[in-house]
Amino acid sequence: MDLSRVTTTEVLESPAETDHPETNSAVAPQTTKAREARLSRRRLVQRAAEFLNNHAAEGVRIGELSRVAGVSERTLRKAFQTVHGVSPKQFDLRERLSGARRALCQIDATRKTVTTIACEFGFFELGRFSRAYKAAFGESPSQTIKTHNAVVRGAW
């Protein structure tokens, strides 16, 4: 095409080849591959997260988790970083803390102690549990119980 004879309006109004990936054979396979890779990472992370959830009290190591997931530690870390924005250990800690918080909010019905709940979620060093809990939720585990009990009784 001789560009010296093309007007500005013709250039602006004509669709570019890359505007439609389905018609550009070089772009479509890359898009499909990227989509498949994202789905694959999500499935991998979901499988690993289920294992972590089922073994919350056991303190799963990254090596064991990667063997269960069937990938290298590096691949597992990259997948978690891509899907959740955190490492597998950070994800595990966040999930276990959230589970402990849910349990602490239901402590009236279960008659459990903070220690029992912490141990159920794999926290055996209670000082570390308390610090991590406070950092995550802005209150100590015992404060959560007090606040929840006050709300249940209608004091709030």
Q: Give the position of tokens 């978690």.
A: 80
In which band, very low, low, confident or very high, does the pLDDT at 149 lie, cut at 50, 70 and 90?
A: confident
User: Looking at residues 82-100, what average pLDDT do you find?
Assistant: 95
**Residue type at 34?**
A
Q: Record the tokens describing residue 123, joined without a space.
A: 């926290």
User: Looking at residues 117-124, what average pLDDT do you find?
Assistant: 93
Which pLDDT does position 36 carry in this prediction? 64
Nearest to 81 by CA among 41, 129, 131: 41
Higher pLDDT, 13 or 62: 62
Distance of CA 142 to the CA centre of its chain: 27
C-beta separation of 120 from 59 below 8 A: no
pTM of the complete model: 0.70
Is pLDDT of 138 > 90? yes
Which pLDDT does position 84 carry in this prediction? 94
Which pLDDT does position 89 carry in this prediction? 94
Q: Per-residue pLDDT tens for 21-61?
A: 444 445 445 577 666 666 688 999 999 999 999 998 888 89
